[in-house]
Structure 1
Amino acid sequence: MFAFRGLISSLSASINVFSISESASFHTASVFYAARKGTRARKEAKKTRVEIKKVAWTPDSKKKKDIHVSRKVDESNLEYPEDDVFMQKDYKLRIFQFQEALAGIRETHHPTMYNLPNAFVGATVEISTTTHQKKVKYIDPWTHIVEVENTFDHGEDRSIIAFCKEHEIAAQLQDMGVALVGDVSTIKGIERGLVTLPTFEYVICNPKILADLMHIRGLLKKKIPALKNNTLGVDLVGITKRLQSGIKYSMKKDTKDQDFGYADFIIGRLNMSTEQLENNLKRVLQDINSMKPNSKPHDEDFITRILLWSDPSPEKMKLDMDNLIEKPKAKVVDDESDGEEEEQVAAKAEGA
């Protein structure tokens, strides 16, 4: 009996000493385990490292060349000068008639001044390249050679090679100074390496021999005759005459101002008459105006400005375009025909 009481007392003593905190503990913070092998390496590899590139020193002369200066001129906020002497940059360019501008050039190139009575007379034409279309917003640059009646020595190298089957036309082309005039046998000789092509700028041919000419298109490359370039046709004599003595111009597009295009070209020499130079300019303007997109509004000007100049003088004179460009005629509606149409519409309405 006494032994049982002693056992109970010892158990109760041990229970009093026992604490809940000693038997279990609750973790409330998140546990951080070690990352798997290679995890840190993958995370470091994903981080983009900014590499500092060393920039080479650029001379000031090259920096000035890289600066883009637009040729587009906006005179909308300027006024015409009232005095005879003024700062040109603060006013609009004065508009000259062609005869007045040419007289000014002849005055500066007089033997008592520049002493260049046979200098080239040049023109600058500026256009609006917008097409008002969603897919094609601007016109692509182009190069044309315009045939003119009043020819002159342009001083350019325009070597031509021609291919045709007619012996009479071949003889005429040789008399005109064509570098090479060949036929089918000549094409085969070029293909086999027996005939060497001379240096050439243009290639013209008759459509009848175009299929044979395709065998050497690798040598001709982009100068292969085509209707688009006006180098493919039946009248090879006329094509040769245009290429040799025509006025060449290249319409360029500004790299920054995509809606602005310009072309600098020569229209003749100072020893030519005023009428001859004016006719040459009108002929080139007519060709440029023919490239106006059909999507442009009828009343919107395609050619925006024309300047006349002659080196070495830096002066460029703005020309009056009204007498140089033929504006499209507006459609005239006849009152009688208009009345007849109204009567027909009324009759149809009554019948309905």
Structure 2
Amino acid sequence: MLGLRSMLSRLTIRSQAFYQPVQCIHVSEVDLKARKGTREKREKLKKKNKTAKLTTITKVGFIPRNKLHLKKVDKHLTNDWKAEPTDDAFPGRYYRWPLFKVSDAIRFHKENLDPTMWNALDSPLNMSVEMDMMGDKPTRMISNFQKLVVIKHPFEHGQERTILVFAKEEENRSNAIRAGATTVGGPDLIKSALKGNIRFADYQFILAHPDIMPEMLALRGLLKKKFPSAKNETLGMNLYELVMKFMNGLFISGRRDEFQENFGIVNTSIGSLNMPTEQLIENFNAILTTVNGQRPNRPGKFITRVHLTTPLSNEKFKIDPADFPFADYVRPGQVPTLPQKKAKKGQEKPTFVRNYQLFRTPV
């Protein structure tokens, strides 16, 4: 009997453990009405926030110029589509720019700054060269460059030069000093430089004579790109001419435009207006020839426009491309021809001739 009672008690305990009471779900009209009110309130709040966003003014921070969506104008555009002027006086906005020879442009600037006019013949004559910086491929652009132009007729260009010269013989050192070098020395100067007594950053150019190059090898790690070499034209036998070249030479730099990669410009001075016209023309030709040396291996124009200006005048004279001092001169209207390609085996020889336009056509 006791065993039966304990069995029944265990069964009752298990029923309490396994069976949970059922909860009732209340679905009534009052609950639905309450939910309907919350939905309406939520929709009204959304509309209110939307109108508030439209009326509020959001502050915008500084936007760089390269990220502004401005209307871009191609700087290579020309006004060749305009009519040619038929008179000496004409509105410039309706006619194309006239082309001038270098000698005529210099003469006009001298007449404008004559003592009877502005009386400023000592002002510099500036030159701007516009270039197409596209390289061998349309996706490749010419990088910025800096060149030293050897001009035949030096002038006050305002560029300070500090030159360090190394030479073993006393005669070569005296020639460098006579030419105007800042510091000149021999093996003793090399030993002093190795001890750290000379700061190479204070010198723009470091020149040397070939007889001291074995001792100069110890400075290769310190000089790096400034180490004298024939490739950089900083190593030579005649130190007097070498120093004079770097003292009187003119530095020009070609820079690509910040917003148009295929447009580059060189701004420099070719002399002062009180110099003879022939000397100014020779300096002009030397600078333009150096710029044209950066021309890539592709057909088409490289130097697109050249202007001559002065600081005191607003006159800007566009130089005729036929007056450029290049050996590969092609007159306007003349079409050059390229040699025909060799035909492969089993193919007929091509009968066409490829034509292209060189940079010597009018711009």
**Given the two structures, how large is their TM-score scaled by the length of structure 1?**
0.66
Q: Aligned partner of 1:188: which letter? A: K
Q: Aligned partner of 1:131: which letter? A: G
73 and 116 in structure 1: CA distance in 2 versus 1, 3 angstrom threshold: farther
Q: Which residue of the partner structure matches residue 158 of structure 2?
A: 155
CA deviations over 1:202-246 (Å, ceiling 9, x no partner) = 212234544644544565454333444322333332221111112
CA deviations over 1:288-336 (Å, ceiling 9, x no partner) = 223323x223xx3432221111112232200112133234279xxxxxx
Shift of 1:95: 0.7
Query: Is 1:138–2:141 an aligned residue pair?
Result: yes
**Structure 2 unmatched runs, 5+:** 1-57, 331-363
Query: Is 1:314–2:314 an aligned residue pair?
Result: yes
301 and 195 in structure 1: CA distance in 2 versus 1, 3 angstrom threshold: closer
Alpha-carbon distance in structure 1 between the residues aligned to 2:199 and 2:145? 31
Alpha-carbon distance in structure 1 between the residues aligned to 2:200 and 2:137? 44
**Structure 1 unmatched runs, 5+:** 1-52, 331-352
SS at match of 1:318: strand
Instruction: After TM superposition, list the pairs within 5 Å mapping 1:56-75 onto structure 2.
Output: 56=61, 72-75=76-79
Give the superposed CA RMSD: 3.2
Q: Which residue of the partner structure matches residue 174 of structure 1?
A: 177
- Of 292, 295, 298 in structure 2, the residue corresponding to residue 296 of structure 1 is 298
Q: Which residue of the partner structure matches residue 239 of structure 2?
A: 236
Alpha-carbon distance in structure 2 between the residues aligned to 1:72 and 1:329? 22
Q: Which residue of the partner structure matches residue 266 of structure 1?
A: 269
Q: Which residue of the partner structure matches residue 129 of structure 2?
A: 125
Alpha-carbon distance in structure 1 between the residues aligned to 2:311 and 2:157? 14
Shift of 1:108: 1.9
Q: Which residue of the partner structure matches residue 257 of structure 1?
A: 260
CA deviations over 1:266-287 (Å, ceiling 9, x no partner) = 1111111111111111122222
- Of 188, 201, 207 in structure 2, the residue corresponding to residue 185 of structure 1 is 188
Shift of 1:86: 3.9
Q: Which residue of the partner structure matches residue 92 of structure 2?
A: 88
Q: Which residue of the partner structure matches residue 40 of structure 1?
A: none
Alpha-carbon distance in structure 1 between the residues aligned to 2:99 and 2:262? 24
Q: Aligned partner of 2:148: which letter? A: I
180 and 236 in structure 1: CA distance in 2 versus 1, 3 angstrom threshold: same
- The worse-fitting range, judged by mean Cα deviation, of 258-267 and 80-89 is 80-89
Alpha-carbon distance in structure 1 between the residues aligned to 2:101 and 2:222? 48
Alpha-carbon distance in structure 1 between the residues aligned to 2:164 and 2:170? 15
SS at match of 1:175: helix
Shift of 1:102: 1.0
- The worse-fitting range, judged by mean Cα deviation, of 169-178 and 140-149 is 140-149
110 and 161 in structure 1: CA distance in 2 versus 1, 3 angstrom threshold: same
Alpha-carbon distance in structure 2 between the residues aligned to 1:276 and 1:257? 35
Contact kept, 8 Å, 1:70 with 1:256, in 2: the verdict is no
Contact kept, 8 Å, 2:175 with 2:239, in 1: the verdict is no
Alpha-carbon distance in structure 2 between the residues aligned to 1:203 and 1:91? 52
Q: Which residue of the partner structure matches residue 324 of structure 2?
A: 324
Q: How many residues align?
A: 270
Alpha-carbon distance in structure 1 between the residues aligned to 2:329 and 2:311? 37
Shift of 1:172: 0.4
Shift of 1:192: 0.9
Contact kept, 8 Å, 2:134 with 2:262, in 1: the verdict is yes
Q: Which residue of the partner structure matches residue 103 of structure 1?
A: 107
Q: Which residue of the partner structure matches residue 30 of structure 2?
A: none
Contact kept, 8 Å, 2:165 with 2:183, in 1: the verdict is yes
Shift of 1:73: 4.2
Shift of 1:189: 0.5
Shift of 1:254: 1.8
The sequence identity of aligned pairs, in percent, is 29
Q: Aligned partner of 1:104: which letter? A: F
Contact kept, 8 Å, 1:180 with 1:198, in 2: the verdict is no
Alpha-carbon distance in structure 2 between the residues aligned to 1:254 and 1:57? 22
Contact kept, 8 Å, 1:117 with 1:271, in 2: the verdict is yes
SS at match of 2:323: coil
160 and 54 in structure 1: CA distance in 2 versus 1, 3 angstrom threshold: farther
**Given the two structures, how large is their TM-score scaled by the length of structure 2?**
0.64
SS at match of 1:322: helix
